[in-house]
Amino acid sequence: MSKRVFNFSPGPAALSEIVLKRAAEEMLDFQGTGMSVMEISHRSDIFREVMSETEDLFRELLGISDDYAVLFLQGGGTLQFSMVPMNLMTGSGKADYIVSGMWAKKAFEEAGKFGDAKQVASSQSEGFTYIPKINAEDVRSDADYLYIAWNNTIYGTQYKAVPQSGGVPLVADMSSCIFSEKINVDDFALIFACAQKMFGPAGLTAVIVRKGLLGKAGADTPVYLDYKTHYDGDSLYNTPPTYCIYIAWLTLKHLKEIGGVEVVQEMTERRASRLYSFIDESSLFTIPAAREDRSSMNALFVTGDESLDRKFIAQAASEGLVNLGGHRSTGGMRASMYNWLPDEAVDKLIDFMYRFEKDNKVK
């Protein structure tokens, strides 16, 4: 008998057990083909059906209109740090970035290779503990886009409202929050998300882009890095990551079955607030992130004593609560609570924290 742990990994993260079991059941014979889904042609009718249903689920669950293309790409979130400027920073050649964490910073630095990238706000000097607030006047009115990272996986902060961009198209990295909250896609020119936190295995990245922005890449853009190539080819310009798309399909079907984004939003916000309330009451643990910007996906907390933090992480793991270590740049603890982490995991974590605090009270 295999034993599952409570996996608080920031990514690749826990997937739905129902989905994993279904994938295991049809591993050797996908829908009567006598082959696994990994062994069939990406151009077969049966796989095309999986792809088009996955796109339909994206559209239905996120409310994406026909004005937007939904692309299934590779290269992780990181390749989007290059593809976004290559495709969109082609009007004035200017783009503005809000640097709220390490991933946004990497995206900003990469954009500088393609044009005039400007950091319009940053919370780096405060250890990225808050979301920098801006006014519309802070954004250059002729910028090709304003870039944000909606949820800062490493620092546990998250946007609660769309920033004022003064009409400048907004680009958002939603890698660690897509499908966890209701969004209005029309507020954005482009949204991207790698799959391995919210909707599948590493290897797939979804890009939701306003169709009017396609076809603007420079003439010397490699064909593979032009969004239009993938739009024109129905994300089948070359062999896509078929197994990842299949798991995304199963995951989104399951998400729809349990009631969709609104239902998981209520669940994930409820349990994040349970954990945060417990920590707020605690005399041992504290939360570095600003209260109003706390993420409901990644909760960071510390004891203030690095050796005690290490003890916490090791002891928690021995009780089956795994991957609670903070990122190497922050230290401390981080509980990532994406859609597919069972509710019970957070109850068990709070119970463990309560006991740990009692046993390790500062004398």
Question: Please, what is the end-to-end C-alpha distance for the chain in angstroms?
Answer: 43
Work out the angle at residue 211's Cα, subtended by the Cα atoms of residues 65 and 69, and round it to the nearest 5 degrees.
55
Q: Which CB atom, from 175 or from 268, has the smaller least distance to ligand PLP? A: 175
Residue 76 contacts ligand PLP per CB under 6 A? yes
Are 115 and 85 in contact by the 8 Å Cβ rule? The answer is: yes
Task: Return the range that interacts with ligand PLP (CB under 6 A); candidates 72-80, 183-191, 238-246, 283-291.
Answer: 72-80
197 has catalytic annotation = yes
Q: Supply 25's token pair.
A: 């059941």
Q: How near is the Cβ of 236 to ligand PLP at its closest, in Å? A: 21
Q: Which of residues 122-181 bind ligand PLP (CB under 6 A)?
A: 149, 153, 173, 175-176
Whether residue 207 contacts residue 229, with contact meaning beta carbons closer than 8 Å, is answered with: no
Numbers of helices and strands, H then E, in the chain? 9, 13
d(CA 199, CA 61): 12
Quick note: the x/- pattern for ligand PLP over 179-218, rule CB under 6 A, is ---------------x------------------------
- Contacting ligand PLP within 231-290 (CB under 6 A): none
Nearer of residues 40 and 195 to ligand PLP, judged by Cβ: 195
Which H or E run contains 22?
A: helix 17-25
User: Which residues are CB-neighbours of 239 under 8 A, at least 6 positions away?
Assistant: 42
Query: Which x/- pattern over 6-45 shows residues binding ligand PLP (rule: CB under 6 A)?
Result: -----x----------------------------------
Asked if 337 touches ligand PLP (CB under 6 A), the answer is no
Is 173 one of the annotated active-site residues of the chain? yes
Residue 37 CA neighbour count, 13 Å, CB half:
25
Interface residues with ligand PLP (CB under 6 A) are: 11, 76-78, 103, 149, 153, 173, 175-176, 194
Positions marked active-site: 103, 173, 197
